[in-house]
């Protein structure tokens, strides 16, 4: 009987210690309510970029753009019906999103607007180094670059090398033809 009494007392003390420690933790802890955000859209979203804890953007199907204000997401007017696959914010007042059909849109701090694109290939990702330097990539090896004023195509080596080889071959053929004609011209004299 004494053995059971000892085990019971030790177990009781353990329970009391756990409860006391738990109470201390509960007293010192902040109350955290479960987070339950709802999306303002049922369309698929493909990318998100957070400028800060209270400013974020997500983009997706049908040109969907939603914005986080620190407590909830809300729809933002989109200038395009096309799929947006990537968003990158340089700052709270400067951002870019890209998508299908070569779609490029820009945030100026108050609204999103379409920007002329040098491609019709679907753009899958955009990354900005600064407000005047950025890149977007997409299908078929598409690479485009923001110069600060305009988006321009960049040629990948897969495209550029065959082009350079072809141009080199043309130069060789022209040179041989010119040299052959010169040789004929000089042998005439």
- What DSSP string describes 138-184? EGGGEEEEE-SS-EEEE--HHHHHHHHHHHHHHHHHHHHHHHHHHHH
pLDDT at residue 150, rounded to an integer = 97
pLDDT tens column, 75-85: 999 999 999 99
Angstrom distance (rounded) from CA 26 to CA 121 = 56
pLDDT tens column, 123-166: 999 999 999 999 999 999 999 999 999 999 987 555 555 666 67
DSSP code of residue 12: H
Q: Is the separation of the CB atoms in 174 and 181 below 8 Å?
A: no
Q: In the chain, what are the domain boundaries?
A: 1-32, 45-154
pLDDT at residue 171, rounded to an integer = 74
pLDDT tens column, 37-61: 789 999 999 999 999 999 999 999 9
Q: Is the separation of the CB atoms in 132 and 148 below 8 Å?
A: yes
Q: Name the 3-class secondary structure at 58.
A: strand
In CATH, what number does 45-154 get?
A: 2.120.10.30
């Amino acid at each position: 009987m004494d053995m059971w009494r000892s085990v019971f007392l030790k177990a009781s003390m353990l329970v009391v210690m756990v409860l006391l420690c738990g109470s201390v933790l509960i007293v010192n802890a902040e109350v955290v309510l479960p987070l339950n955000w709802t999306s303002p859209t049922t369309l698929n979203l493909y990318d998100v970029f957070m400028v800060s804890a209270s400013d974020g953007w997500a983009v997706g199907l049908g040109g969907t753009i939603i914005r986080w204000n620190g407590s909830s997401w809300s729809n933002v007017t989109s200038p395009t019906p096309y799929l947006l696959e990537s968003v990158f914010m340089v700052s709270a007042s400067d951002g870019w999103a890209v998508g299908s059909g070569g779609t490029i849109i820009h945030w100026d701090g108050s609204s999103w607007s379409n920007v002329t694109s040098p491609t019709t290939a679907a753009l899958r990702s955009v990354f900005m180094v600064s407000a005047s330097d950025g890149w977007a990539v997409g299908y078929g090896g598409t690479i485009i670059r923001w110069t600060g004023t305009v988006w321009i195509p960049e040629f990948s080596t897969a495209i550029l090398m065959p082009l350079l080889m072809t141009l080199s071959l043309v130069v060789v053929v022209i040179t041989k033809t010119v040299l052959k004609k010169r040789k004929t011209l000089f042998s005439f004299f």
